[in-house]
Amino acid sequence: MENLMSRYRNVTILVAILFVQVLGLAVQVKRRSGADESTRIIRMWTVSAVTPLEKAIVWCQNGLGGVWNNYIYLRGVRQENRDLKFEIEQLRLEQVRLSDDAQQARRLQALLGFKEQYIAKTVAAQVIGSSGSEQSRSVYIDKGTSAGVEKDMAVITADGLVGRVLRAFGSSAQVLLINDQSSGVGVILDKSRLQGVIKGTAAGEVILEKVMTDEQVGLGERIVTSGGDQIFPKGITVGTVMKVSPGADLFLNIRVRPSANLSRLEEVLVITKKEDRAPSVAETNSVRAVDILSQRLPSVPDKPAADANQPAGAEPPATAAKSPIAPPKPQVNAGVHNPVGSSAGQAVVKPATTPQKLAPAAKKASPQTAKAATSAPAPSEPRASETETSEDKPH
């Protein structure tokens, strides 16, 4: 190497000087890259020289990342897919069971005549103000009695319950929020089905009261309206359980996180009309209570089919055959003479006392008494005597 440098020393120095000059010119000279922008040539040369190297580095990085993400990192995806498929099947079975339970509940509710309140009509309103005191938690909306808003109407949002109308004016109304101290909402826990009352505190928090300490309330359990206060329809989301702690008077202290953001209300819905409807049965449109009851009680026998040839109101043959009452016997015509040639089915009844037996008694009696007895027979035996006399005569 030293021999090469000593041999081409002059050429090497010349090349070095030329490189320094070209580098100096590249630093000083600028080239227009746009309308009002100019870039130094050295910068353009540097970018052109580094770009292929950067492209090669990025290509290698993407290739290695693809191998990692598509093979090494996904080695457990097959087992994960199996677990997800099994979970999907379990959820499908659970869905079928819940659907059957829902249909059964509808049938039972239709049988018992239960009715629920449904939201039939709402009015959209915008929040235009709030109460100026921390002791009162209320807002004002831009709809009043002119829009159908009245006192004690429920106010909701897409997230959940907000409160109720406290006062209604001509073109505005005051809404009492659920975190106010004077508010009260009848609610029920979604899973445990425990009932309580939602109230506000002085600090603006929402608590659930009237739940006994021996009950189990889980964190995160959803709370919905029970509909027992006749103001809020049943099933509206109120919030979730945030904290549970034992309290005084055998009741739990349950802190609730409202589902609606009560501090940032802009638009609300006022429920202006509610309907009481019985849940419809999903199987048929016209199902009677007797049919529903027969479905729930398999031991009830089916109704026998009516015979088309049998007249209306007549008793079925099977029922008549099983009747314990015997048919009436034919009556015998007592005291009627049966001449010769009559049928053998007719009978002739003879009197118990014949004239031959009465003759000795008549002989012993006086002639007047005997004559009276002979001439005036007993009233109950005239036809019988005539019949006997006719029988004694020869034919």
**Predicted pLDDT of residue 278:** 67
**Predicted pLDDT of residue 334:** 43
**Predicted pLDDT of residue 33:** 65
Compute mean pLDDT per 10 residues along the chain, 395 residues long, and list them. 71 84 77 68 80 89 80 77 93 91 80 78 94 83 94 94 95 94 93 92 91 91 91 92 88 94 93 79 51 55 56 49 45 44 42 43 43 46 43 44
**Predicted pLDDT of residue 319:** 44
- Residues 213 and 205: beta-carbon distance below 8 Å: no
225's tokens: 């309206």
Distance CA 370, CA 364 (A): 8
**Predicted pLDDT of residue 5:** 67
**Predicted pLDDT of residue 282:** 52
**Predicted pLDDT of residue 22:** 81
